[in-house]
């Protein structure tokens, strides 16, 4: 992973604007935070395939029967990936790791969790999605002669490929995906997910493996002093909690972020 220091908003804008469209992004409120899913953080040292499977199955079995009682804006999920996506976006721990096609959305999430009093530098991850997926697809092809998908064909039926190939056979690969039918929040956030094909492997283990050697993966260290400037930048492009969430929760979060910036 290539680590790059950013000391001005101009440098940051120049960096992300120079990247082509085949990158995905994730923001962290602290540079020291590890790249790990919410379920990985919960399980910690207890992370293994059997435990992950048990926790995931429990969450789905508890969530699916009651979904229709609470949902007001999403259609009923039709695949495992879609169910996990809904769980993730409403706060339940999953092995999905949120990324966005937009670096500005990723920066927004870094700012949303930021606590100025801690004086942490922020982080922005940028990953070459095309290079990673090409390596992953080639890996599957070498292990399954019947697999004839390409990056282009996978896009039309991502749910099926994830459930019937990647997840079913626990391939030792990283995989970028999203449900074919997006939920409302995922669509608003230009979101996608990075996930380990093998439930027993942490995502950082896979990204550091020989399979992805040479794939461009960057981590920008954003100086803490840029916090208010980044907030102003996102406001100028009309990227706020109101737009990201589109509900009362978003409005309240937007007010909270404004108050925090003014207090800082």
State yes or no: pLDDT of 196 exceeds 70: yes
State yes or no: pLDDT of 165 exceeds 90: yes
Distance (Å, whole) CA 92 – CA 223: 31
Q: What are the tens digits of pLDDT across the range 198-249?
A: 999 999 999 999 999 999 999 999 999 999 899 888 888 777 776 777 666 7
Contacts with 235 (C-beta within 8 Å, 6 or more apart), sequence order: none
Distance (Å, whole) CA 52 – CA 58: 10
User: Which of 107, 62, 103 minimizes the C-alpha distance to 86?
Assistant: 62
Return the structure tokens found at 31. 């540079």
Q: How many domains does the chain have?
A: 1
pLDDT band at 25 (very low <50, low <70, confident <90, very high): very high
pLDDT confidence of residue 74: 66
Q: What are the tens digits of pLDDT across the range 12-22?
A: 999 999 999 99
Return the structure tokens found at 124. 């922005």
State yes or no: pLDDT of 143 exceeds 70: yes
pLDDT band at 186 (very low <50, low <70, confident <90, very high): low
Best mean pLDDT range from 112-116, 245-249, 250-254: 112-116
Residue identified by tokens 């695949």 is 79
Return the structure tokens found at 37. 């899913």
Question: What is the greatest pairwise CA distance in the chain?
Answer: 60
pLDDT confidence of residue 179: 84
pLDDT confidence of residue 243: 72
Phi-psi region of 190 (alpha: psi -120 to 50; beta: other; left: phi over 0): left
pLDDT band at 181 (very low <50, low <70, confident <90, very high): low
DSSP annotation of 164 reads I
In this prediction, what percent of the chain has a pLDDT beyond 90? Answer: 68
Q: What are the tens digits of pLDDT across the range 54-70?
A: 999 999 999 989 888 87
Mean pLDDT of the chain: 89
DSSP annotation of 211 reads G
User: Which of 128, 125, 95 minimizes the C-alpha distance to 29?
Assistant: 125
State yes or no: pLDDT of 182 exceeds 60: no
pLDDT confidence of residue 258: 73
Task: Give the residue-averaged pLDDT of 82-108.
Answer: 92
The pTM for the full model equals: 0.89
In this prediction, what percent of the chain has a pLDDT beyond 70? Answer: 91
Distance (Å, whole) CA 247 – CA 170: 37
pLDDT confidence of residue 246: 66
pLDDT band at 188 (very low <50, low <70, confident <90, very high): low
Q: Which domain holds residue 42?
A: 2-263
């Amino acid at each position: 992973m290539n680590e790059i220091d950013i000391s001005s908003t101009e440098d940051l804008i120049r960096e992300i604007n120079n990247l082509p469209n085949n990158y995905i992004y994730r923001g962290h409120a602290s540079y020291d935070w590890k790249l790990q899913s919410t379920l990985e953080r919960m399980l910690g040292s207890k992370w293994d395939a059997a435990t992950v499977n048990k926790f995931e199955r429990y969450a789905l079995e508890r969530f699916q029967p009651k979904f229709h009682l609470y949902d007001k804006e999403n259609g009923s999920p039709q695949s495992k990936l879609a169910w996990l996506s809904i769980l993730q976006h409403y706060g339940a721990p999953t092995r999905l790791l949120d990324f966005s096609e937009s670096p500005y959305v990723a920066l927004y999430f870094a700012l949303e969790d930021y606590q100025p009093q801690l004086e942490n530098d922020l982080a922005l991850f940028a990953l070459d999605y095309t290079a990673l997926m090409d390596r992953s697809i080639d890996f599957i092809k070498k292990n399954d002669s019947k697999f004839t998908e390409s990056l282009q064909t996978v896009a039309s039926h991502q749910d099926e490929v994830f459930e019937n190939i990647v997840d079913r056979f626990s391939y030792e690969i990283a995989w970028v995906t999203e449900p074919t039918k997006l939920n409302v929040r995922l669509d608003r956030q230009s979101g996608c997910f990075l996930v380990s094909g093998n439930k027993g492997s942490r995502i950082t283990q896979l990204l550091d493996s020989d399979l992805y050697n040479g794939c461009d993966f960057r981590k920008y260290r954003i100086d803490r002093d840029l916090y208010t400037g980044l907030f102003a930048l996102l406001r100028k492009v009309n990227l706020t909690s109101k737009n990201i969430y589109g509900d009362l929760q978003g409005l309240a979060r937007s007010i909270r972020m404004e108050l925090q910036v003014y207090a800082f």
